[in-house]
Structures are given as C-alpha cells and as structure tokens.
Amino acid sequence: MKKNKKIGNIFGVANTRYLNIVNQVAPYIQSEYVIIEDKLQGNLLAEVIETEILPYASEKVLPKGSTADFLKKMNYNVDKPIFLAKVKLLNEIPYPVLPETIVRPAKYEEIKHIISKANNNDGMVIGIIKGTELSQDELPEEIKNISPLWEKGSAVSQQGIPLVINHHSFREYPHIGLFGSSGSGKSFALRVLCEELMKLRIPGVAFDPHFELKFEGLMKGVDKVVDSKSIISYSDRYEEFIIGENVGIHFEDLNSGELISLFDFIDPLTEPQKNALELLFEKGDSFEHFKKKVVAIKEAFEIKERMVRGKKLPEDEFTPLQADLYGRMKSQISGSLTLQALSWKCTALEKTNIFVGDISDVKRAMKKRKLAIIRGDIRRLQMISSYLITKLYKERINYVDKDMAYFPPFFIIVDEAHNFAPEGRDTTPTKSILRKIGQEARKYGVFEIMSTQRPKNLDNTLLAQLNTKFIFRLTDSNDMQVAKVEGNLTDGEVSRLPDLASGNCFVSSATLNKTYPVRFRTTFSKAPNSSDPFEEMDEKIKEVDGGLQKILLDFLPITTLLLGRNLPKICEKYGKNVSLKEVIEMLEDMVKEGVLKKEKDPIGIKYVIS
C-alpha cells in the first residue's frame, strides 16, 4: 500500500484518544503508524493497537456505536470483507476527530521524531521496530541496511525502521534486562547485544553457563543482504576463559566470609564447622596450608579422643603444628566430627579446580577492549562470579577515585541471572556486588546486562535498577505481572506476551520515547548448537556413505567372490577400514537407489552401473 494513498476512514464513535478506522483494500498491520487528516486539528499521528478482519459488516461484531448504514454512506460494500483497526493517538487532542476523516499511512519523516536518533556508528543496533515495515523504502541510506533479520533458516534483508540504542545514555539510565521463557529468543538477543558491544569496542565480562556465547564464522545469508564493509570479524574482539583451566580464584585474596560462601556451594556449613573455619583461616593462607591446618587439628582431636578411651599408642604424639593448633583452639572447636566434615568439604572444594589460575588474563583482555567470556557449569560460575566482579570493579574504582592504573568502563553480562541474584532475604556475595554496582554505575561506568527466564525470581532491588528492559514471550502469570509493572506494558501488550514469536519482544526504556514492539536482528556470527540435530545426522550419513559410494564406483564391475581381494585397496583409498559386510550393504543400497544393478556371474553376483 503506497504511503500517499488513503487507507481508510474514521468509523463509529470517536474520542480524544482512541479511534476506529476502516477500509476494504488491505488489512492494517499491528503497531503500524497512521496519519489522521483531521480538517480542524491537522494531521494527527496514531498507532494501530488492534487489527481485525470481518467477512462482512454485521451489527453484532462492528465496534460499539457503529452500524452497517454508516459504512454504506461512506460507499463501503457491506457484503464484502471489512478491515478494521483500533488506533491510539500519540498525543491527546482537545476534541474528537470529525467523522469519516481520511486515514493514510505515516511517512518516515512524520514518525522519525519518536524513533531513537542514535546512528549505526554511535549506538547498539537491536533490530527493527514492528509496524514500520512500510517505511523501509523511505529510510536514509545510512540506516537502510543495518539490521538484517532471520527467516526460514537464513538471514534476510531489513524490513522496517531499525531500533538503535545510544549507549552513551547509559550513564544516566544504566543497565539492561532481558526476560523471556525458554525458546523465546532471549539467548539469541543476548548474543546480539554482545556483538554490539564488540562492534563498539566496549569491554565486558560475560558469564556463560550454556556455552552459547561463541562468535566464530558468519551466519548463513548475512553476506548476501549486508554490505561487506559492515560485517565485522569478532574473533579478535573476545577471549574465552574456562574455570579450572585458565581462570580461577587466587586463594590468598579471600577473606573468611568469601571462603565460607565458597564452602556453602559445596554443602552448607553448620555453625560448628563455620566457627572452626573462621578460627583456622588466616588472610594470606594458601589453600594447601589451610587444608594442612584442617587435617592437622582434626588428627590432633582424634589422638586425644583415643587417649581418653584409654587407647594410648606409641605414635600418639603431636607434631609441632598439631600441638600449636590444639593448644590454641581445643576449647573453641566442638570435636573431630566437625573437623572431619570440614576436611571432606575442603577436598570437594579442591576438586572443583576453582583455585586453578587467576584473573590476570581476564583483566588483560578487558584492557584491550575485549569481551571476556567465562565458561563453566552454573555452580562454578556462581562460585567465581562475586570474586571476579569485585576485583574488576575495584580496578575501575581505583582508577576513577584514586587515579591509579587505567581500567576501562565495562559491562557485566549474566545469563540465568536469577541464579546469581535471587529474590529473597538471603544475601550472597554475588547478589551484594551486583546490587552495589546497580546503584553506583552512574559514577564509575560499570553496567549490567541481566538475562533471565524468571523475572519474578530475580532480586527486586536489582530488577528496579534495569532501566532498559526487553520483554520476550512469557507464560507464567507472575512473570507477566512483573513484566507489566517493570516494562510499563498496557493490558493489551501483556495479553500478547504468551504468543510472541521467537525473537520478538517489547522494549521499555527511559532512553526511548515509548514502549516499542521490536523484532531482534539476526546475529552476524554463527550461533553454536543452532543446527537441527536430525539434519546434522542425515548430513553426516550422506558424507560417510557418499564417500564410500564414490570409491566403490572406481572398482566396478565388482563380483562378490573377488570382493575380498579388493577390500584392502578399497580401505586404503577410503582412508579407514571397512568390513566386507559394510561394503556389500553399501552395494545393495546403491542397487536400491538405482545407481547399480546386479547381474548373475559364473563366480558370484556382479555389481555394474545401472
């Protein structure tokens, strides 16, 4: 439908905010913008909030205050399909619009003032604003081809006005939240945000429990729909760190509270165990020395307990370490069972490899303006997160407040955020530091991106700090209620949440003029684990079978009696061993496929080209 053409009329009862419009040319697009050409008040901008099609005009289904006679007087055929829409005026007017006023599509120039003004080179390209598809051909060249979409297994051209968020505004309105059920496209969107940070060379640290934040290779079809100059290779803009291999906690840096928190991830400490730990731990201890002290005093208590039972043995003598520890702490520790449990937990904690490596390479990568991706299972990510975030935040504070060595502003990206900062009275070290950063970000330039399937389970204090929220498909009523309040959604928008297609969301932000329905762009890099596993299986079978088929064709004609003689040569050419049975099965499959045919031969069955 062309932009300069009428697409309907005002229909039925009108007020100063909501109107009904009608036409018989084409359906209205949900969330599209239209201009109402009122003769008294001028051109009025409105947004389609409901759209429907009637097979014919019936009094029972027409909007309240509307009749078929009204349509007839406007020269509409009441026996043919009727396209209706309810629209909301973006600005309240003093009196209603005149009846039968003409409605037309809004032009880009008429709506650009309500769209984000950030450009591709100075902002984060998120996706396209739904309902603006008809504006695509009117866009300035610099924003016409920056947000490719994903359809039917391949990237396709941009279809609408791109949403670009100005990251400079985060100083006043910091932090981002992504809320969506499994399969809603939330994880895909998180990859888009990471790509945008890398495009802008903004450093960050990302906790990746699902090993999804990889950015190698090019997404299928991207090179066909985007100018090659805008395609970025991310391979030198991020580094991966595996807990227990090349990133870990430096034990000597821990205080007793942090160590107790780490033990609690293994198995919550009892009060007697916690008391023993606090007595034995000294700031600056190595893990080996701390563990040695636990074992030493445990053995000292066991020796004394045997002596009490009258079982004095020649070897029941204390070492100097045992004597020292027992002498100082015998009246403050409950007994050997407490120390035995603490010793077991020390061993279990050591097996996590959490104390292998340090964070020096993470800091180095971030100083080079890279994204540092921390990988590991959710438990070990929880264990390392508070330590790592606290150390990085301190580096930034030292630069800003104390003029120490430069450390750049950065983002903290947390997937499954409700596992790191859960709602409830209990306070964990990670929850505390994330809260603190949430409240101090304006001063230090450290920002958070929190992604979760369960917004109701995310700490309320942290939730309130997220000034930009992307709300994807949600089905739980409690989560939807949180999204409504936090995202400033209307009842109509909330009702659409359970049915949002993957990659579609509402974005609410203090930096934007209104809440927009958005379709996220495709990632430029290939997403890991994105292929259909059954297609993958078929391809692998074709790859194996096809290779053997090609080799067997070189040995035709093949007779079953002489096949054994040729088998070593077939294996040599194929590059791996196959059995005689496997070769015969492949020949039979080739017969079924019509590639070969079988003939009788004096020395067996002969396989020849069909």
**pLDDT (mean) for 441-455:** 93
Cα separation, 251 vs 284, whole angstroms: 8
On the question of pLDDT at 426 being above 80, the answer is no
**pLDDT (mean) for 19-46:** 93
Report residue 237's pLDDT band, with 50, 70 and 90 as the boundaries: very high
pLDDT exceeding 90 applies to what percent of the chain?
Answer: 64
**pLDDT (mean) for 132-155:** 92
Strands across the sheet with 504-509, in order?
A: 162-165, 124-129, 516-520, 504-509, 468-471, 176-179, 446-452, 410-414, 204-208, 371-375, 238-242
How, if at all, do strands 238-242 and 371-375 pair?
parallel
Please report the pLDDT score of residue 461 as a whole number. Answer: 93
- 154 neighbors 531 (Cβ within 8 angstroms): no
Cα separation, 446 vs 230, whole angstroms: 27
On the question of pLDDT at 448 being above 90, the answer is yes
The structural architecture, per CATH, of the domain 163-217+364-520 is 3-Layer(aba) Sandwich (3.40)
Please report the pLDDT score of residue 503 as a whole number. Answer: 95
On the question of pLDDT at 267 being above 60, the answer is yes
Please report the pLDDT score of residue 316 as a whole number. Answer: 56
Q: What's the burial of 128, exposed, middle or buried (CB within 10 Å: 0-12/13-18/19+)?
A: buried
Quick one: tokens of 39? 């003769």
**pLDDT (mean) for 540-553:** 69
| Of the candidates 350, 374, 345, 353, the residue with the CA atom closest to the CA atom of residue 362 | 374
pLDDT exceeding 70 applies to what percent of the chain?
Answer: 94
- 52 neighbors 106 (Cβ within 8 angstroms): no
Helix (H) or strand (E) run with residue 216 in it: none
Query: Which residues, including other chains, have CB under 8 Å from residue 444's CB and lie 6 or more apart?
Result: 393, 396, 397, 400, 409, 437
Please report the pLDDT score of residue 494 as a whole number. Answer: 93
| Lowest-pLDDT range of 358-362, 419-423, 592-596 | 592-596
Report residue 539's pLDDT band, with 50, 70 and 90 as the boundaries: low
Q: How many C-beta atoms surround the C-beta of residue 63 within 10 A?
A: 15
Q: Does residue 123 sit in helix, strand or coil?
A: coil
Question: Is the model more confident about 538 or about 240?
Answer: 240
Please report the pLDDT score of residue 314 as a whole number. Answer: 46
Cα separation, 160 vs 17, whole angstroms: 26
Please report the pLDDT score of residue 552 as a whole number. Answer: 86
Report residue 571's pLDDT band, with 50, 70 and 90 as the boundaries: confident
Please report the pLDDT score of residue 556 as a whole number. Answer: 86
Report residue 557's pLDDT band, with 50, 70 and 90 as the boundaries: confident
Is 533-609 a CATH 2.60.120 domain?
no
Cα separation, 337 vs 298, whole angstroms: 8
Helix (H) or strand (E) run with residue 397 in it: helix 378-402
**pLDDT (mean) for 171-189:** 93
Backbone angles phi, psi at 514, to 5 degrees: -160, 175
Please report the pLDDT score of residue 610 as a whole number. Answer: 82
Strands across the sheet with 604-609, in order?
A: 558-559, 604-609, 596-601
**Mean pLDDT over the full length of the chain:** 89
DSSP assignment of 247-306 equals B---GGG--HHHHHHHHHHHSPPPHHHHHHHHHH--TT--HHHHHHHHHHHHHHHHHHHH
Report residue 139's pLDDT band, with 50, 70 and 90 as the boundaries: very high
Helix (H) or strand (E) run with residue 177 in it: strand 176-179
Please report the pLDDT score of residue 581 as a whole number. Answer: 86
Please report the pLDDT score of residue 575 as a whole number. Answer: 83
Report residue 546's pLDDT band, with 50, 70 and 90 as the boundaries: low
Query: Which residues, including other chains, have CB under 8 Å from residue 118's CB and lie 6 or more apart?
Result: 124, 164, 165, 166
Q: How many C-beta atoms surround the C-beta of residue 96 within 10 A?
A: 17
- 431 neighbors 459 (Cβ within 8 angstroms): yes
CA distances from 595 to 302, 553, 558 (A): 79, 10, 14
Quick one: tokens of 502? 């993957």
Q: Name residue 279's amino acid.
A: L
Please report the pLDDT score of residue 554 as a whole number. Answer: 85
Cα separation, 121 vs 448, whole angstroms: 22
On the question of pLDDT at 538 being above 60, the answer is no
Task: Please report, to the nearest 10 degrees, the dihedral formed by the alpha carbons of residues 540, 543, 544, 546 taken in order.
Answer: 140
Cα separation, 115 vs 540, whole angstroms: 47
pLDDT in tens, 190-226: 999 999 999 999 999 999 998 889 999 999 999 999 8
In the 8-state DSSP scheme, what is residue 41? T
Quick one: tokens of 422? 């859960």
Q: For the whole model, what pTM was predicted?
A: 0.82
On the question of pLDDT at 529 being above 70, the answer is no
| Of the candidates 411, 415, 408, the residue with the CA atom closest to the CA atom of residue 364 | 408
Please report the pLDDT score of residue 1 as a whole number. Answer: 46
Phi-psi region of 326 (alpha: psi -120 to 50; beta: other; left: phi over 0): alpha
